[in-house]
Amino acid sequence: MVYGQAMSERVRDDIGRLVHRGMPVEAYWRAVSDALDAAVPSEGSCLMTMDPATMLPTAEFVENGLPADSISRLVEIELREPDYTKWVDMARAGTAAASLSHVTAGDLDLSRRQREVRRPGGYSDELRVVLSSSTGTWGALTVFRETDSPYFSSSEVRLLSSLTGLISDGLRRALLLDDACADRPDTGMLVLDPDDGVDLANREAEQWVDELGVGERAGTRLPLVIRSVASQARAIAAGERIADVGLARARVRTRTGRWVIVRGSLLGEGPLAPVAVLLEAARPAEMAPLLADMYGLTQRERRVTELVAQGLPTRQIANQLHLAAYTVQDHLKSIFAKSGTGSRGDLVARLFFDQRATSLTAPSATPDD
């Protein structure tokens, strides 16, 4: 099936509103699966959450999936044996979505998990989506079809690939909401009424508000960034186009110099529904695009910097970007001058504090948190 712009925008708007709905992980997954099924029909789906440091699965939510006694073999293949479209391989290659039928050219049994586990279980093609952000891979989504169903088309793969940023952002919000409700440290949560009055605040949120400050305007109760993000969440929930209003999310520096990510999600429906505002310390990789903006790096310079952070030498950078080696050197000189650094190591340390490369050129709707 070939999808037009209207279909893509409708699905994006539907999922964008779900992202800002303030749901726990399982409810979010079920709602996203329902929204996707209208455009990309499937017989089942599975969401796995992952530890971003190791990409090891931490929990799974399955609808119409394989029986439990088959899962251990799937996990063994995923973690220890070669196969097609493994999560780690997709994340490393920067592949947002892929179908098994495409990567095997239609011969699904080339996949070990397909011939040993999935086909005997009555399943055919699967479409895998890596839910990554600039802070790591937080989860993975699989939609799958049974034996008599058609393979996923290239347009269906492209559609899910284009939605990865939104779906990832919603998963990160759901995980943070679960953390805040479980009273885990470092995740602040405020629940605001329609007039931005505070109905609920955990200790971490109160600390972030104190650190952000409310300014000197008389009668101000909350930092401007929190009120702005809450307003954005209400606008999105009211049906305003995502492309027009953007995501309800902002990065801001506190008075002590720390950076915090602020996210807003509506808890319920209707104009009187409260808004949950989540506050989390910005991770180093999240700040790289912002620092690139501050230094005034051009798009080409950002791409060169990404490849430098991946450890590529000048000649390989030149080959990837179809440039002459001396042109890459000229870009590097400009990057060093703008960033105030004197070597590749200094540059990576300044932009990617934890030595991890992230995308400096991805659009803002691409996973960020």
Residue 337 has which token pair?
């001058």
% of the chain exceeding 90 in pLDDT: 41
| Same domain, residue pair 43 and 117 | yes
Which residues constitute the domain of residue 313? 285-351
| Same domain, residue pair 69 and 161 | yes
The residue out of 157, 180, 203 marking a domain boundary is 180
Contact present, 39 and 11 (Cβ < 8 Å): yes
Sheet holding 275-281, edge to edge: 198-201, 187-192, 275-281, 259-266, 249-253
| Same domain, residue pair 98 and 127 | yes
Nearest to 11 by CA among 152, 113, 162, 146: 162
| Same domain, residue pair 83 and 165 | yes
| Same domain, residue pair 33 and 156 | yes
* Phi, psi at 144, each rounded to 5°: -140, 160
Contact present, 336 and 342 (Cβ < 8 Å): yes
Q: In sequence order, which residues have a C-beta less than 8 Å from that of residue 222 and are 6 or more positions away?
A: 190, 192, 196, 198, 209, 214
| Same domain, residue pair 277 and 135 | no
Separation CA 330–CA 324 (nearest Å): 10
Domain of residue 165, CATH code: 3.30.450.40
| Same domain, residue pair 27 and 161 | yes
Contact present, 291 and 350 (Cβ < 8 Å): yes
**For residue 86, how many other CB atoms are within 10 A of its CB?**
18
Asked whether the whole model's pTM tops 0.75, one would answer no
* pLDDT at residue 357 in the model: 45
* pLDDT at residue 125 in the model: 97
Task: Convert the pLDDT of each residue in 188-240 to its tens digit.
Answer: 999 999 989 999 999 999 999 999 887 666 667 888 889 888 988 888 888 76
The residue out of 180, 211, 236 marking a domain boundary is 180
| Same domain, residue pair 266 and 293 | no
The residue out of 284, 308, 323 marking a domain boundary is 284
* pLDDT at residue 288 in the model: 66
Separation CA 143–CA 280 (nearest Å): 31
> Dihedral of the CA atoms 354, 356, 361, 366 (nearest 10)?
-90
Separation CA 260–CA 263 (nearest Å): 10
| Same domain, residue pair 51 and 142 | yes
Domain of residue 295, CATH code: 1.10.10.10
Residue 168 has which token pair?
């990832």
